[in-house]
Amino acid sequence: MHPALRILEVIDIISSHTEHGSLPALASTCRTFENPALNVLWRNLHSVGPLVKCLPSDLFGSDRGCLVLQRPPDGKVWDTLFKVLAHGFRTLTSGIEPADHFSFLRGISFDFAPHPESSASESAMLSQFFAILQEKCDNDKLKSFSFIRLGKKKSIELGIFTSLHAFSNLTQLVIEEGCDISMSDEELCQLVRAWPKLRVLKLSLYNIITLPTFHGLIGLLRLCPVLTSLSLDIDVTELDGIDLKCPGGGLCNKHIEFLALGTSHVRSPAKVAVILSGLFPRLEKVDLGGSTSDRWTLVNDFLSGFRLVREQHIEACVCSDL
């Protein structure tokens, strides 16, 4: 090798003037050229495509045209990403600074399909992944988390999700086809307390031992006042301490467009409807998710009647002022 090619600055200049498509070949010639060529290769990206191609093919899937993580990245995946970042990755599309390597992320969707080579527990993988997200992402910009088939109907600690409190601008949290998570009123409020901008909350859980009650639901509405869509299993048989004349103590949500409360037994459809009508004065019905429960159907019938009476009262007040 010519002595000039042992000078790093010369190699850097050669690499910077090499056509982009030839840089992988240049990096493969010898160790001397490897790092300088890779630094130039990864310095500026126009999409995340080249990054994705470096990762295992079974890590990603597609959902309505969007790239979706099928499982949390393990240590090998993160090692690969960090090696790429170490090669001088500077910009992606419109100028992302090195300190914000993952700041382009706005939302994350996990299709948590079983992975045969993974021996770690779901809780352990999630805990590790959330910790990495907090360190590497722009916590103010990441606003959406969706988890599908999380835990394969196994038990996952609720405290794992409090790691997401770092993302204070979260507007959507979805756990679909979920897992075993017992949740008291206090634990529900603890989970959502850091997300006042939350608009969509969907927790589809299985084999629950402890469910939130109307008290937890009221606490949720106080902490997340702009909710527009809520899917949450609650126990509607526990009515002690609920004032039927003013269920939320003056608190109500007029933004809700979708409400599903699971398949809890209903002892008093009329009282349940009165409480829901007080908390959600513009609610048309509770989504029954295909359930044929006569008592939940009665709840919706009462809600429809209450809404009609309320509209008639408003109309009568307007007419009386004319």
- What span, in angstroms and rounded, lies between the C-alpha atoms of 113 and 158? 20
SS3 99: helix
Query: For residues 117 and 138, what is the distance between their CA atoms, to the nearest angstrom?
Result: 30
The rounded distance, in Å, linking the Cα atoms of 311 and 315 is 6
With 0.75 as the threshold, say if the pTM is over it: no
Query: Can you tell me the distance from the alpha carbon of 87 to that of 101, in angstroms, rounded to the nearest whole number?
Result: 12
Beta partners for residue 92, in sequence order = 45
User: What's the first-to-final CA gap in the chain, in angstroms?
Assistant: 96
The string of DSSP letters for 251-273 reads ---S---EEE-TT---S-HHHHH
Residue 70 DSSP SS3: coil
Amino acid identity, residue 215?
H
pLDDT at 177 over 70: no
Q: Angle of helix 214-223 relative to helix 269-279, nearest 10 degrees?
A: 10
Tell me the C-alpha distance between 298 and 286, whole Å: 11
Among 58-62, 228-232, 274-278, 313-317, which is the least confidently predicted range?
313-317
Average pLDDT over residues 175-195: 84
Ordered alpha helix ranges (H), the chain: 8-16, 23-29, 31-43, 49-53, 75-86, 122-136, 185-192, 214-223, 269-279, 294-321
CB atoms under 10 Å from CB of 151, counted, come to 21
Least confident of 11-25, 32-46, 191-205, 228-242: 32-46
Asked if residue 60 lies in contact with residue 67, where contact means CB atoms within 8 angstroms, the answer is yes
The token pair that represents 173 in the structure block: 């949290």
Check pLDDT > 60 for residue 175: yes
Look at residue 321 in the predicted model and tell me its pLDDT.
Answer: 54
Which has more confidence, 63 or 212?
A: 212
Q: How confident is the model at residue 254 (pLDDT cuts 50, 70, 90)?
A: very high
Radius of gyration of the chain from its Cα atoms, rounded to whole angstroms: 26
Q: Of the spans 48-62, 68-82, 252-266, which averages the highest pLDDT?
A: 252-266
pLDDT grade, residue 178 (50/70/90)? low
The rounded distance, in Å, linking the Cα atoms of 322 and 304 is: 28
State the residue for tokens 């206090």.
186
Q: How far is the CA of 3 from the CAs of 6, 10, 11, 18, in angstroms?
A: 5, 10, 11, 20
Q: How far does Cα 228 stand from its chain's mean position?
A: 15
Mean pLDDT computed over 212-234: 96
Q: Which phi and psi (to 5°) does residue 283 adopt? A: -70, 130
Identify the pLDDT of residue 95: 37
Least confident among 79-83, 228-232, 294-298: 79-83
- By DSSP bridging, strand 144-148 and strand 107-111 are parallel
Q: Are 179 and 158 in contact (CB under 8 A)?
A: no
Q: Find tokens 């939130």 and name the residue.
A: 212
Residue closest to 108 by CA, chosen among 172, 177, 161, 64? 172
Element (H, E) at 108: strand 107-111
Q: Residue 98 pLDDT > 50, yes or no? A: no
Find which of 92-101, 191-200, 204-213 is predicted with most confidence, using mean pLDDT.
191-200
- According to DSSP, the residues that pair with 200 across neighbouring strands are 172, 229
By percentage, how much of the chain surpasses pLDDT 70? 68
